[in-house]
Copies of this chain bind each other. A is one copy, B any other.
Amino acid sequence: MAEDSKSTKPLDNGRRKFLNTAGIAGIAGAGATLGLAGCNKAEQAPTAAAPAPAKPAAAGHSKVEVAPGQLDDYYLMSSGGHSGEMRIIGVPSGRTLKRIPIFNIDPMSGWGITNESKKIVGTKADGSVKYRTGDTHHVHGSYTDGTYDGKYFWVNDKINNRLARVRGDYMECDKITEIPNVQGFHGIFPDKRDPVDAAINHTTRVFCGAEFHMPLPNTPKNWKEGTGYACLLTCVDAESMEVRWQVKVDGNMDLCATSYDGKLAALNSYNTENGQVFADMMSAERDACIFFNVERIEAAIKAGKSFTVGDSKVPVVDGTREANKDPKTALTCYVPVPKNPHGVNISPDGKYYVCAGKLSPTATVIEHALVLKWFNGEVKEAQECVVGEPEIGLGPLHTGFDNKGNAYTSLFLDSQVVKWNVAAAIAQYKGDKQVKVVLDRIDVHYQPGHSYASMGETKEADGKFFMSGNKFSKDRFLPVGPLHVETEQLIDISGDKMVLLADHTAHPEPHDAIIVRRDLIKTKQIYTLEDHPLHIKGFDDTGIKRNGNKVTVRIMSVAPTFTPSEFVLKKGDEVTVIITNHDKVEDLHHGFAIEYHDVNMIVGPQETKSVTFKVERPGVFWYYCTHFCHALHLEMRGRMVVEA
């Protein structure tokens, strides 16, 4: 900041006051009722007395700033919560490089307006998009050999229960699949290789966890009694995006992790009692991290041991505890963890899952090899798969990893990130009372949810950056009215001590994200003309065709002109405008809007898009280029004439 800056540091008591009102007050009440007693507050959370303020960390600043003309080192691929979009953000700069419209309507690109996007989103009988809303929580990318291959990214919608895929070359959504018989579709994770076929060392499945239990099939009949409620895990084919199979489970799933050998998918599950009201949901002593044996599930389906639910044709197998008592034939393994887990992540060496939840101040370390042994009958109780349970702080949720065996867990209630050593946690669990498990903690601002290390969900975890997606920003930014922006705080984890580098803003509401090394992303800059079956081949291919009151207008754009620059319709016509952009210069998009007709879309170099609408109002209406293209961009327009 300039020396004459008027910047002021927010008063530190603001932080604690806020934590008290919004965070801890609520859980303190719940904790009293629900047995939140395992945490020595004084030891774990330095929040009681005046805490050390978050330092400006001047030493770290040069690591954030990306000078003009320089490029970022990483892509942050982030979910956008109920904005319905996915986002690409540069790391360390925090600059938003792209918003990818998915479950929302985007007039900038024409998403939800063009015929091409509507086909992906789905339409109602009247031709409008089926859904305008979505609640994205998790973004994950496709893997080859245990690291990102940049081919696909997936993101969920929790409102209307859809899985969307973004292709990594164009960074655009190309498929959306509605998941049958689930509600509150929350966590996703692609597999990393096939559990059986060693040649398939890349992603071919995406696992989807459903959080809200619901009647199967969905009928209001016994809603009050709550009988017949369950949740399904869903497996979607990564290429075809069709639903392969589902598994019925006990409890409500949210997060998901997959093993590096392709054998297991892990989902944390709360309310394993399958209760309908809060008291019932809290009757058991522990919940579970559920492990799904992919090979066995697919064999069971092949053997016809499946059923269907309602109108859905998707095969469903029974993964409840009751139906999977014999480990040697079990499809699922329920490893007990403290109540209400809300996070499961796997370490980059593929050996350990870390599962945590806000009602216990601990993280549960589960060993992958032991879970496989349980499925082989070599471990008696699923509980024995747990190899560590360190106390790390209040409200632990999500864990990222570096390349030195350390874990970084967000502490929701403490508003901190805690660094701890996995091997030390295991040694401590075995009885070593001297070992130092917790290595460092750092304040974040405020109420962190997910957090993510650079490359931390791959075998190439590099231990450089860590980001904390925080739910409240309060006094960290200039006030902009009742609704505050959220934060993505950037932390340097390359040294022994964590250093807070930057408060990046995040449009509500960031949930999960992944930090991808930039050399793994390989995008295309130009579309392929022939990819669209209706593309305009050249000037001779432009013009107007009428079929009754259905009119097709074929327009070619070459900066700074539309050809044709005028076309005549009749009131009541249903018109389809098809535009092919014949420009070949990188980034040279044209926009196409029609005055008073609520139409806008952009068409990239060599791309074709179309839009269909009715004309009901006689007159002359200009169409024009809305996306800057050329020195004569303002002159790039034409007239649509609607005769009475």
**B7/A72 in contact, CB under 8 A:** yes
**B480/A97 in contact, CB under 8 A:** yes
Among all A-B residue pairs, the 5 with the closest Cβ atoms: A218-B619, A27-B631, A171-B481, A56-B67, A107-B133
In the complex, whether A377 has a CB less than 8 A from a CB of chain B is: no
CB-CB under 8 A from A53, the residues of chain B are: 69
**A628/B509 in contact, CB under 8 A:** yes
Min distance, Cβ A255 to any Cβ of chain B, angstroms: 11
**A6/B518 in contact, CB under 8 A:** yes
- Of the A-B pairs whose beta carbons lie under 8 Å apart in the complex, a sample of 13, sorted by A's number, is A6-B518, A21-B585, A26-B631, A56-B69, A68-B489, A83-B106, A98-B485, A104-B106, A135-B626, A160-B598, A183-B595, A183-B621, A482-B587
CB-CB under 8 A from A643, the residues of chain B are: 220
CB-CB under 8 A from A644, the residues of chain B are: 220
| A75-103 contact mask (Cβ, 8 Å, vs B): 1 or 0 | 10000111110001010101111110001
**A22/B588 in contact, CB under 8 A:** yes
In the complex, whether A336 has a CB less than 8 A from a CB of chain B is: no
| A464-484 contact mask (Cβ, 8 Å, vs B): 1 or 0 | 100000011110111111111
- For the A-B complex with A104-B107, A159-B594, A160-B596 known, give 12 more contacts whose Cβ atoms are closer than 8 Å: A1-B62, A1-B63, A27-B632, A65-B65, A68-B502, A82-B602, A98-B480, A98-B485, A99-B507, A447-B628, A479-B525, A482-B589
**A57/B68 in contact, CB under 8 A:** yes
From B54, B69, B395, B449, A9 is in contact (CB under 8 Å) with: B69
Interface residues on A, range: 35 or more
Q: How far is the CA of A23 from the CA of B559 in the complex (A)?
A: 10
**A184/B624 in contact, CB under 8 A:** yes
Min distance, Cβ A402 to any Cβ of chain B, angstroms: 15
From B61, B158, B449, A628 is in contact (CB under 8 Å) with: B449
With A82-B626, A108-B82, A628-B449 as given contacts, are A619 and B220 in contact (CB-CB < 8 Å)?
Answer: yes
**B521/A630 in contact, CB under 8 A:** no
With A84-B108, A220-B642 as given contacts, are A483 and B69 in contact (CB-CB < 8 Å)?
Answer: no
Quickly give the copy total for this chain.
2
In the complex, whether A8 has a CB less than 8 A from a CB of chain B is: yes
**A602/B483 in contact, CB under 8 A:** yes
**A133/B219 in contact, CB under 8 A:** no
| A33-74 contact mask (Cβ, 8 Å, vs B): 1 or 0 | 000000000000000000001101110011111111111110
In the complex, whether A298 has a CB less than 8 A from a CB of chain B is: no
**B559/A26 in contact, CB under 8 A:** yes
Q: How far is the CA of A113 from the CA of B598 in the complex (A)?
A: 17
**B132/A30 in contact, CB under 8 A:** no
With A107-B132, A482-B604 as given contacts, are A9 and B70 in contact (CB-CB < 8 Å)?
Answer: yes
From B108, B220, B587, A620 is in contact (CB under 8 Å) with: B220
Min distance, Cβ A111 to any Cβ of chain B, angstroms: 11
CB-CB under 8 A from A568, the residues of chain B are: 220
With A67-B58, A183-B596 as given contacts, are A214 and B602 in contact (CB-CB < 8 Å)?
Answer: no
In the complex, whether A128 has a CB less than 8 A from a CB of chain B is: yes
CB-CB under 8 A from A503, the residues of chain B are: 66, 68-69, 95
CB-CB under 8 A from A135, the residues of chain B are: 591, 593, 600, 626
From B97, B589, B639, A223 is in contact (CB under 8 Å) with: B639
